[in-house]
């Protein structure tokens, strides 16, 4: 296509137009690049400002801050680290860091998070413990390096996007904590829910950590190369939850630091609306009734949270049962749960056994019992097998998505 | 034809999902939306165009419109102690809204639903890879998926639009991750060779770096680690055999002359145990610990029928210690091999590896992912949710922009 030129007849047409039109096209004339299509080659004001920012305030973000996170929210608009003390100087990369500096931010940062995290687990004594730990370590490392040390991050400093007040970089599990969770679940044979309560890590995360650690150990056994430089660098950049090893003498009496809220209640869609239910004053309107008012199948929060056993245990304690009694009840519950799990496993195995498998060179043929009725009235039932006469497949039709919706683990 | 706009334009600052300096600059320059002098439609349009430039910019608008959901997920953290001690009727006490307590009036924090508009996009495979810090941009993550470098639950999935289900484990090739997140190579190998030749011609020896020293452990057991793609039964066995051959080298220097005899016997026993390797199923010997316990059991079984001397039990303890040591060495060596960040011209990234520029400003992992950086694998735990005071969808935009964008997609629905 030819370059766009100022057509002379357009200009002439515009001269006859109203004054408002002529105002629109009144532009400063550019002498040098009248016919050029390339964008401006000179350094524009925008580009100059960009480089000014990148080499000025943005220069601090180029390299990671050793032993700390390095987000945009931690700096003011002139590129100064807000939480740094006046005498602070950024260390160069090769300079070794002291031990006090390494351990300090983790502990206090945990405390900071504890204060704002509305976790069901956070307790006053844990906070106290963290504070005491802080003071102790502060006393230990109170030395000439006071000015050099960075204060722990506040919620503000953990904001990668300063404009978004509702997002912050949350802590991830440290390498030690992952190993500890893996050992607790595999070696000690602790159930996932118990490990979750012990470490203050959600159920799903415990499962994921064990699964990933298992793969990692297999890699080590196979002699595969791990991405250790990458892992080290990334974990150094992120805020992490440290592991409080209870076997060490200096950690005696310390509780593990809660990583996240473990009793999250999912907001049920039925509860999104506002309801006005007239109730007699004399009536005891409890959570169960409230659930029924929203939806007949909606269970109360006590049963919908991931750890209902904690509520049961707490309730028994509140009713004043003796320790022996409570223990007996807990064991009964555990036995019932295991029995249920065993039955499910048996049913699964029985189903597997019922299948007839014929191994072949490349694929195994699996024979299952199916019913013709599964195809349904229109022959397109999800469970239906095979092809029905007169019912063409839809998979070649326009708009049929072929991306799998699930991958079996 | 109209010229395609620049991806990173300084004229129209758009934030993109990548770790570039332009994105960082745009985030730093981002301001509250102008709500005073513009019409509601203009505000919504700008909010939509800004947020869409960041969220799922690689997806067509029509596709995103079909993904959009007006119901946004949220959770409320519950306290089990409160649940145990109250049955909920206390909230209807007094005149129907709970008994007033003086001084303890605490309004719960706002749940930022409006920052969750783009939560379905976070479910996509390419977005999840970018969020777990395995790629430096979503487009690169997408390329990894398309090129077949990503597996989901051990199966290769070449679809960037695959919607992850809770519990899915995805894994990216470690070399690609190191390439994506590492600092870039400055020059090609040819250029570096030419530069070296020129330097040699000049007779300048002061600048040349000293040759990196090979570690002793790596020298000793370098044969024992063979990278095998398929974790097969036999490969494990051969690996163990090579290990045992190397055990002599490793421990030979430390064992005194008196222990030589014991040591030889020990090696024979280990060999016998290895010959029994076939009896074990591959699942039971996948990890090093499992291998170690298996060998120990085999040794004990060997020893029991022939235990005539009392000295044997102590010897077996000795053996166990030695075996343990050998396995420790193997483990250390594997770690050392990877950790020893050596210079390697054949790599596509700058070696020794270091993170790329500005990576730390973008390094965060949202809570709906659990990442193991060592193997470059992650598990998608659940869908992102909003909770009081916190939205899990990482978005650089202020709350008002999120509201406006949500309202844009809400219309006609």
Q: Is the Cβ pair B89, A284 closer than 8 Å? A: yes
Q: Which of A163, A185, A260 is the best residue to mutate to test the B interface, defined by the most B CB atoms within 10 Å of its own CB?
A: A163
Q: Is the Cβ pair B355, A237 closer than 8 Å? A: yes
Q: Select, from the ranges A33-47, A61-75, B115-129, B216-230, the one with the highest average predicted confidence (pLDDT).
A: B115-129
Q: Is the Cβ pair A120, B80 closer than 8 Å? A: yes
Q: Is the Cβ pair A229, B80 closer than 8 Å? A: no
Picking from B201, B228, B255, the residue at the C-terminal end of a domain is B228
What is the secondary structure of A116-158 as a DSSP string?
H---SS--HHHHHHHHHHHHHHHHHT-SGGGTTSPPPP-TTTT
Q: What is the CATH number of the domain that holds B377?
A: 3.10.290.10
Q: How far apart are CA B378 and CA A142, in angstroms?
A: 40
Q: Which residues pair with B163 in a beta bridge?
A: B124
Is residue B45 located within the same domain as residue B130?
yes
**Of the ranges A105-114, A186-195, B25-34, which one carries the lowest mean pLDDT score?**
A105-114
Q: Chain B closest CA to A304's CA: distance in Å? A: 10
**Is the pLDDT reported for residue A100 higher than 60?**
no
- Note the pTM of the prediction, 2 decimals: 0.76
- The residue among A148 and A140 whose pLDDT is bigger is A148
Is residue B120 located within the same domain as residue B210?
no
What SS3 string covers B82-135? HHHHCCCHHHHCCCCCCCCCCCCCCCCCCCCHHHHCCHHHHHEHHHHHHHCCCC
**Of the ranges A248-252, B79-83, B229-233, which one carries the lowest mean pLDDT score?**
B229-233
Beta strands in B279-409 (DSSP E): 369-372, 377-380, 386-387, 390-391
Q: Is A118 on the interface with B (CB under 8 A)?
A: yes
Question: What's the CA angle centered on A232, arms B209 and A171, to 5 degrees?
Answer: 150
- The residue among A227 and B238 whose pLDDT is bigger is A227
ipTM of the prediction = 0.77
What is the secondary structure of B131-171 as a DSSP string?
HTTSSSBHHHHHHHHHTT-EEETTEE---TT-BPPTTEEEE
Q: Is the Cβ pair A118, B367 closer than 8 Å? A: no
- Backbone torsion region of residue A81, taken as left when φ is above 0, otherwise alpha when ψ lies between -120 and 50, otherwise beta: beta
Q: Is the Cβ pair A223, B133 closer than 8 Å? A: no
- The residue among B92 and B254 whose pLDDT is bigger is B92
**Cis? peptide before A356, omega within 30° of 0:** no
Q: Is the Cβ pair A169, B381 closer than 8 Å? A: no
Torsion angle (degrees, nearest 10) of CA B367, B373, B377, B380: 0
**Is the pLDDT reported for residue B220 higher than 70?**
no
**Is the pLDDT reported for residue A147 higher than 70?**
no
Q: Whose CA is closest to B28, among B361, B356, B392?
A: B361
Q: Is A178 on the interface with B (CB under 8 A)?
A: yes
**Of the ranges A78-92, A181-195, A253-267, which one carries the lowest mean pLDDT score?**
A78-92
Domain ranges of chain A: 172-251
B205 assigned to some structural domain: yes
**Span B287-297, pLDDT tens digits:** 666 666 666 66
Separation in Å, CA A220 to CA A3, B291, B324, B329, B374: 62, 12, 15, 12, 10
Report the pLDDT value the prediction gives residue A186, as an integer from 0 to 100.
Answer: 93
pLDDT band at residue A53 using 50, 70 and 90 as cut-offs: very high
pLDDT band at residue A289 using 50, 70 and 90 as cut-offs: very high
User: Taking CB atoms and an 8 Å cutoff, what residues of chain B touch A72?
Assistant: 24, 27-28, 361
- On average, the pLDDT of chain B sits at 79
Report the pLDDT value the prediction gives residue A248, as an integer from 0 to 100.
Answer: 85
pLDDT band at residue A249 using 50, 70 and 90 as cut-offs: confident
**Is the pLDDT reported for residue A15 higher than 90?**
no
**Span B101-154, pLDDT tens digits:** 777 667 889 999 999 999 999 999 999 999 999 999 999 999 999 999 999 999
pLDDT band at residue B162 using 50, 70 and 90 as cut-offs: very high
Q: Is the Cβ pair A54, B25 closer than 8 Å? A: yes
Check: CB of residue B370 under 8 Å from CB of residue A208. yes
pLDDT band at residue A158 using 50, 70 and 90 as cut-offs: very high
User: Taking CB atoms and an 8 Å cutoff, what residues of chain B touch A120?
Assistant: 77-81
Neighbours of A248 (CB within 10 A): 9
Check: CB of residue B381 under 8 Å from CB of residue B132. no
Mean pLDDT of A56-69: 92
CA atoms A150, A152, A155, A159: torsion sign: positive
B44 assigned to some structural domain: yes
Q: Which among A178, A208, A235 has CB closest to B379?
A: A208
- On average, the pLDDT of chain A sits at 79
Is residue B170 located within the same domain as residue B209?
no
Mean pLDDT of A239-247: 91
Q: Is the Cβ pair B181, A230 closer than 8 Å? A: yes
Q: Which two tokens stand for residue B312?
A: 């044997």
Q: Is B238 on the interface with A (CB under 8 A)?
A: no
Is residue B176 located within the same domain as residue B132?
yes
DSSP-based three-state secondary structure for B386:
strand
- Residue B390 belongs to domain spanning: 21-73+111-181+365-410
Q: Is B155 on the interface with A (CB under 8 A)?
A: yes
Place of tokens 């007033």: B100
CA-nearest residue to A278 within chain B is B96
Report the pLDDT value the prediction gives residue A149, as an integer from 0 to 100.
Answer: 76
Q: Which residues pair with B150 in a beta bridge?
A: B172
Q: Which among B84, B360, B375 has CB closest to A61?
A: B360
- The residue among B108 and B356 whose pLDDT is bigger is B356
Q: Is the Cβ pair B358, A72 closer than 8 Å? A: no
Q: Whose CA is closest to B393, among B70, B119, B91?
A: B119
Check: CB of residue A153 under 8 Å from CB of residue A105. yes
Q: Which of A1, A230, A319 is the best residue to mutate to test the B interface, defined by the most B CB atoms within 10 Å of its own CB?
A: A230
Mean pLDDT of B393-402: 96
Check: CB of residue A120 under 8 Å from CB of residue B79. yes
Is residue B25 located within the same domain as residue B169?
yes
Report the pLDDT value the prediction gives residue A236, as an integer from 0 to 100.
Answer: 93
Is residue B42 located within the same domain as residue B127?
yes
Q: What is the DSSP letter of A253?
A: T
CA atoms within a 13 Å half-sphere pointing along the CA-CB vector of A359: 0
Check: CB of residue A307 under 8 Å from CB of residue B80. yes
Longest dimension (CA), chain A: 101
- Looking at the structure of chain B, the number of domains it has is 2
pLDDT band at residue B394 using 50, 70 and 90 as cut-offs: very high
Q: Which among A47, A285, A302 has CB closest to B89?
A: A285
Q: Which among B79, B166, B390 has CB closest to A120?
A: B79
**Of the ranges A6-10, A197-201, A299-303, B227-231, which one carries the lowest mean pLDDT score?**
B227-231
Report the pLDDT value the prediction gives residue B222, as an integer from 0 to 100.
Answer: 38
Q: Is A222 on the interface with B (CB under 8 A)?
A: yes
**Of the ranges A27-31, A388-392, B17-21, B70-74, which one carries the lowest mean pLDDT score?**
A27-31
Q: Is A232 on the interface with B (CB under 8 A)?
A: yes
Mean pLDDT of B50-65: 95
Is residue B220 located within the same domain as residue B157?
no
Is residue B44 located within the same domain as residue B142?
yes
pLDDT band at residue B325 using 50, 70 and 90 as cut-offs: confident
CA-nearest residue to B87 within chain A is A286
B338 assigned to some structural domain: no
Mean pLDDT of A397-402: 86
Check: CB of residue B371 under 8 Å from CB of residue A209. no
Q: How far apart are CA B91 and CA B97, in angstroms?
A: 6
DSSP-based three-state secondary structure for B73:
coil
Q: Which among B73, B92, B157 has CB closest to A285?
A: B92
Is residue B134 located within the same domain as residue B175?
yes
Tell me how many helices (H) and strands (E) chain A has: 13, 5
List, as ranges, residues 76-105 from B with C-beta within 8 Å of A: 76-81, 83-85, 87-89, 92
Check: CB of residue A228 under 8 Å from CB of residue B338. yes
Report the pLDDT value the prediction gives residue A16, as an integer from 0 to 100.
Answer: 39
- Could you tell me whether strands A240-241 and A172-173 are parallel, antiparallel, or unpaired per DSSP bridges? parallel
Q: Is B371 on the interface with A (CB under 8 A)?
A: yes
Portion of chain B with pLDDT greater than 90, in percent:
51
Q: Is A279 on the interface with B (CB under 8 A)?
A: yes
Q: Is the Cβ pair B391, A167 closer than 8 Å? A: yes
Is residue B215 located within the same domain as residue B129?
no
Place of tokens 């320790």: A323
**Span B70-93, pLDDT tens digits:** 999 999 999 999 999 999 888 888
Q: Which two tokens stand for residue B39?
A: 């019409």
CA-nearest residue to A239 within chain B is B364
pLDDT band at residue B277 using 50, 70 and 90 as cut-offs: low
Q: Whose CA is closest to A263, among B76, B378, B342?
A: B76
B200 assigned to some structural domain: yes
B146 assigned to some structural domain: yes
pLDDT band at residue A75 using 50, 70 and 90 as cut-offs: very high
Question: What's the CA angle centered on B361, arms A100 and B182, to 5 degrees?
Answer: 95
B317 assigned to some structural domain: no
- The residue among A32 and A345 whose pLDDT is bigger is A345
Report the pLDDT value the prediction gives residue B82, as an integer from 0 to 100.
Answer: 93
Mean pLDDT of A370-387: 81
Report the pLDDT value the prediction gives residue A125, as an integer from 0 to 100.
Answer: 44
Report the pLDDT value the prediction gives residue A130, as an integer from 0 to 100.
Answer: 56
Check: CB of residue B391 under 8 Å from CB of residue B40. no
Is residue B177 located within the same domain as residue B205?
no
Place of tokens 């029928």: B305
Is residue B62 located within the same domain as residue B201?
no
pLDDT band at residue A124 using 50, 70 and 90 as cut-offs: very low
What SS3 string covers A377-400? CCCCCCCCCCCCCCCCCCCCCCCC
pLDDT band at residue B382 using 50, 70 and 90 as cut-offs: very high
**Residue count (chain A):** 409
């Amino acid at each position: 296509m030819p370059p766009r030129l100022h057509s002379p007849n357009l200009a002439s047409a515009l001269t006859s137009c109203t004054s408002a039109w002529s105002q629109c096209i009144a532009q400063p004339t550019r002498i040098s690049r009248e016919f050029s299509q390339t964008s401006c080659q000179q350094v524009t004001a925008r580009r100059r400002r960009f480089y000014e920012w990148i080499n000025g305030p943005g220069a601090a973000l180029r390299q990671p801050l050793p032993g700390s996170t390095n987000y945009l929210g931690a700096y003011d608009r002139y590129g100064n680290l807000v939480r740094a003390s006046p005498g602070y100087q950024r260390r160069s990369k090769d300079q070794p860091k002291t031990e006090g500096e390494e351990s300090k931010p983790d502990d206090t940062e945990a405390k900071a998070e504890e204060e704002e995290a509305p976790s069901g687990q956070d307790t006053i004594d844990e906070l106290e413990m963290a504070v005491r730990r802080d003071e102790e370590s502060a006393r230990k490392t109170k030395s000439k390096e006071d000015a050099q040390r960075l204060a722990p991050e506040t919620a503000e400093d953990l904001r990668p996007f300063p404009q978004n007040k509702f997002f912050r970089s949350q802590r991830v599990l440290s390498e030690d904590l992952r190993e500890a969770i893996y050992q607790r679940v595999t070696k000690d044979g602790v159930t996932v829910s118990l490990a979750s309560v012990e470490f203050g890590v959600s159920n799903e995360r415990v499962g994921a950590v064990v699964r990933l650690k298992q793969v990692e150990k297999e890699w080590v056994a196979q002699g595969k190369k791990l991405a250790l430089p990458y892992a080290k660098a990334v974990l150094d950049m992120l805020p992490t939850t440290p592991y409080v090893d209870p076997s060490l003498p200096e950690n005696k009496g310390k509780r593990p630091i809660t990583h996240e809220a473990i009793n999250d209640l999912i907001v049920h869609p039925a509860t999104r609306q506002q309801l006005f239910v007239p109730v007699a004053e004399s009536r005891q309107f409890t959570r169960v009734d409230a659930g029924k008012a929203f939806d007949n199948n909606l269970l109360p929060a006590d049963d919908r949270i991931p750890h209902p056993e904690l509520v049961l245990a707490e309730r028994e304690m509140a009713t004043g049962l003796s320790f022996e009694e409570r223990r007996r009840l807990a064991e009964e519950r555990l036995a019932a749960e295991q029995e249920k799990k065993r039955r499910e496993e048996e049913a699964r195995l029985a189903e597997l056994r019922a299948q007839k498998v014929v191994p072949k060179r490349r694929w195994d043929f699996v024979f299952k019992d199916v019913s013709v009725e599964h195809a349904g009235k229109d022959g397109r039932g999800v469970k239906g097998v095979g092809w029905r006469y007169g019912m063409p497949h839809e998979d070649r039709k326009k708009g049929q998505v072929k991306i799998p919706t699930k991958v079996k683990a | 034809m109209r010229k395609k706009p620049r991806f990173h334009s300084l004229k129209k600052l758009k934030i993109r999902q990548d770790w570039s300096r332009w994105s960082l600059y745009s985030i730093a320059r981002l301001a509250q939306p102008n709500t005073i002098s513009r019409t509601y439609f203009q505000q919504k349009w700008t909010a939509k165009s800004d947020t869409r430039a960041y969220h799922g910019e690689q997806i067509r608008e029509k596709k995103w419109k079909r993904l959009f959901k007006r119901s946004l997920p949220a959770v409320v953290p519950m306290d089990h102690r409160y649940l145990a001690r109250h049955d909920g009727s206390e909230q209807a006490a007094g005149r129907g809204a709970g008994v007033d307590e003086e001084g303890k009036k605490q309004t719960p924090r706002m749940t930022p639903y409006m920052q969750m508009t783009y939560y379905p996009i976070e479910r996509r495979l390419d977005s999840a890879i970018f969020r777990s810090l395995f790629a430096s941009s979503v487009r690169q993550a997408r390329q990894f998926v398309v090129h077949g470098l990503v597996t989901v639950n051990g199966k290769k999935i070449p679809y960037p639009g695959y919607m992850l289900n809770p519990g899915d484990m995805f894994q990216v090739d470690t070399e690609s991750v190191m390439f994506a997140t590492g600092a870039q190579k400055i020059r090609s190998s040819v250029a570096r060779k030419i530069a070296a030749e020129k330097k040699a011609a000049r007779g300048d020896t002061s600048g040349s770096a000293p040759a990196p020293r090979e570690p002793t452990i790596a020298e000793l057991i370098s044969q024992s680690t063979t990278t095998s793609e398929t974790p097969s039964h036999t490969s494990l066995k051969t690996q163990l055999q090579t290990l045992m051959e190397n055990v002599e080298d490793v421990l030979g220097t430390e064992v005194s002359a008196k222990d030589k005899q014991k040591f030889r016997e020990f090696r024979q026993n280990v060999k016998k145990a290895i010959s029994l390797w076939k009896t074990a199923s591959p699942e039971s010997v996948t990890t090093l610990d499992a291998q170690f316990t298996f060998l120990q059991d085999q040794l004990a079984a060997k020893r029991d029928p022939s235990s005539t001397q009392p000295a044997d039990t102590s010897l077996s303890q000795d053996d166990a210690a030695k075996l343990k040591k050998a396995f420790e060495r193997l483990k250390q060596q594997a770690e050392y091999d990877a950790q020893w960040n050596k210079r390697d011209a054949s790599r596509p990234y700058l070696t020794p590896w270091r993170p790329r520029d500005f990576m730390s400003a973008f390094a965060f992992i949202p809570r709906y992912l659990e990442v193991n950086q060592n193997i470059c694998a992650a598990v998608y735990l659940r869908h992102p949710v909003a909770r009081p005071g916190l939205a899990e969808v990482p978005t650089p935009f202020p709350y008002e922009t999120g509201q406006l964008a949500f309202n844009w997609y809400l219309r006609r629905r």
